[in-house]
């Protein structure tokens, strides 16, 4: 994962006085899955649209495979594809017709074979004669992914690829994406509101806020930036525990015999020692460590403020 196959520098988009994307620079390596996250209005879609050349940057440079997008647009887009929950395919076309048109636009050899393989992969081969407007939202998401993989893309931009999919299908799609990356070194730029999916899929995450990159790291490292964990204790001798927590000034929430305590992760051993030394027995314990979702929520709250 060393070759940078997509790289952009100081990408900026201004709409009048409003700056939607502000001097954003990052790169995508061969075979890498990069998550592009951020709250609504952070600039994710604007960035993706600039990368697809359907939105002209105010300034900044976009290079795919070492070539400038503006100068080599058609040649580059032949090796790139995308899928988004916000677009569709001609709604009166049958699935087969819609895919045939795109297979020809991407000049794919053996287009029928390729279409058949992908329809089977995404489990929608039985819908090939059905018109696009007659299929469900989940089937449409799979159809758009089929279109996105038609041209054996080396880079694929996925905007909410598993939105509106049933969990079992979403799992299969994720497995497919991982396989494509492993077998063909397909690089992916991935946006999703499903944080578990992002944590599972992405090697690295770029977090955008108000058009600027505010964090860029591995998912687990971003999660570590949230220092608080939630400890849930089931304590039958709740009066004894209440006295201890009050004395030690430990803030808690109590629901019958369950105590919820939010403390810094590194202080959890100290809490457990305290309970033991004061002979407060707990019947059950669960520790909720911070995840990417907590990081996302923290950042989002910051945005609202």
Partner 1 sequence: MSIRRILAMNRRYFYTLVHNYDRLSDSIYWPLMDLLIWGLTGLYFAGLSENSEQTIAVLLTGIIFWIVTWRSQYEITVNLLSEMWDRNLVNIFTSPLKLSEWITAVMLQGGVKMTISILFSGAIAFILYKYAFFQFGLWLIPIIISLCITGWAIGFSVAGLIIRYGQKVQTLAWTGAYVIVPFSAIYYPVSILPSWAQEVSKIVPTSYIFEAMRQHISSGHISLEKIVVSFALNALYLLLSILLFIYGFRESKKHGLGRLI
CA distance 63 to 51: 9
Counting contacts by CB under 8 A, is residue 107 touching partner 1?
A: yes
Interface region with partner 1, contact rule CB under 8 A, candidates 52-60, 200-208, 239-247, 267-275: 52-60
Candidate residues 44, 147, 181, 204; the one interacting with partner 1 per rule CB under 8 A: 147
Candidate residues 67, 73, 112, 218; the one interacting with partner 1 per rule CB under 8 A: 73
- Return all residues near 281 (Cβ < 8 A) that are at least 6 apart: 235, 236, 237, 275
Of residues 107 and 279, the one with the C-beta less far from partner 1: 107
Instruction: Give the three-state DSSP class for 40.
Output: coil
Sheet holding 80-84, edge to edge: 80-84, 155-159, 187-191, 33-37, 204-209, 212-217
Q: Using an 8 Å Cβ cutoff, are 48 and 195 in contact?
A: no
- Residue 93 C-beta: closest distance to partner 1, Å: 5
Interface region with partner 1, contact rule CB under 8 A, candidates 77-85, 189-197, 254-262, 275-283: 77-85
Of residues 147 and 204, the one with the C-beta less far from partner 1: 147
Candidate residues 1, 52, 163, 297; the one interacting with partner 1 per rule CB under 8 A: 52
Instruction: Give the three-state DSSP class for 166.
Output: coil
Q: Using an 8 Å Cβ cutoff, are 49 and 157 in contact?
A: no
Size of the site for partner 1 (CB under 8 A): 36
4-33 footprint of partner 1 as x/- string (CB under 8 A): -----------x------------------
171-210 footprint of partner 1 as x/- string (CB under 8 A): ----------------------------------------
Phi/psi class of residue 152: alpha, beta or left (left: φ > 0; alpha: ψ in -120 to 50)?
A: left
- Return all residues near 28 (Cβ < 8 A) that are at least 6 apart: 4, 5, 6, 7, 34, 155, 187, 189
Binding site for partner 1 (CB under 8 A): 15, 45-46, 49, 52-56, 73-75, 77-78, 80-82, 84, 86-93, 97, 100-102, 104-107, 131, 147
């Amino acid at each position: 994962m060393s070759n940078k196959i997509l790289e952009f520098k100081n990408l900026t988009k201004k709409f009048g006085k409003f700056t939607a994307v502000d001097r954003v620079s990052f790169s995508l390596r061969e075979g890498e899955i990069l998550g592009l996250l951020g709250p609504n209005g952070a600039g994710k879609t604007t960035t993706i649209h600039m990368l697809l050349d359907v939105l002209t940057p105010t300034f900044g440079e976009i290079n795919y495979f070492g070539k400038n997008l503006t100068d080599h647009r058609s040649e580059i887009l032949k090796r790139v594809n995308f899928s988004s929950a916000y677009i569709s395919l001609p709604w009166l076309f049958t699935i087969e017709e819609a895919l045939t048109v795109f297979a020809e636009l991407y000049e794919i050899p053996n287009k029928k074979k390729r279409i058949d393989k992908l329809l089977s992969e995404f489990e929608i081969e039985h819908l090939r004669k059905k018109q696009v407007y007659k299929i469900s939202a989940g089937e449409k998401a799979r159809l758009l992914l089929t279109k996105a993989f038609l041209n054996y893309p080396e880079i694929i931009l996925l905007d909410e690829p598993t939105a509106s999919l049933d969990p079992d299908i979403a799992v299969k799609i994720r497995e497919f994406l991982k396989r494509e990356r492993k077998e063909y070194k397909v690089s992916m730029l991935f946006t999703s509101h499903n944080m578990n999916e992002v944590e599972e899929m992405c090697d690295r995450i770029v977090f955008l806020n108000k058009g600027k990159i505010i964090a860029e790291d591995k998912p687990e490292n971003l999660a570590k930036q949230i220092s608080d964990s939630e400890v849930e204790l089931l304590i039958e001798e709740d009066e004894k525990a209440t006295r201890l927590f009050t004395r030690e000034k430990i803030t808690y929430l109590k629901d019958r015999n369950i105590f919820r305590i939010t403390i810094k992760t590194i202080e959890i051993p100290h809490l457990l020692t305290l309970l033991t030394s004061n002979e407060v027995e707990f019947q059950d314990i669960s520790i909720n460590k911070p995840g990417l979702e907590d990081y996302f929520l923290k950042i989002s709250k910051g945005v609202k403020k």
